[in-house]
Amino acid sequence: MKLQTKLTNNVYLLSFVATVGGSLFGFDISSMSAWIGTTQYNDYFNSPNSDLQVHLQIHALQNLTMR
């Protein structure tokens, strides 16, 4: 059984959504890498290693989802 709708049948719309999503993800990653390299970030979080940074991000995501 093949499910086709106007939304999934439009290749241009699907390509546009995928491109915008990828661009936003790339922008987010580049923004975060710029922030965690600053002196203020390292001073505030006491020069965290990569494990602590992962825990900080997980904690921030949990706070967002609990609202």
Please give the biggest Cα pair distance in the chain. 58
Q: Is pLDDT at 1 greater than 60 in this prediction?
A: no
Count of domains forming the chain: 2
How far is it, in rounded angstroms, from Cα 67 to Cα 39?
31
Residue 36 in contact with residue 52, Cβ under 8 Å? no
- What's the predicted TM-score (pTM) here? 0.43
30 and 8 belong to one structural domain: yes
How far is it, in rounded angstroms, from Cα 47 to Cα 67?
29
DSSP letter at 63 equals H
31 and 1 belong to one structural domain: yes
Query: 49: domain range?
Result: 37-67
Over residues 20-30, the pLDDT tens digits come to 988 888 887 77
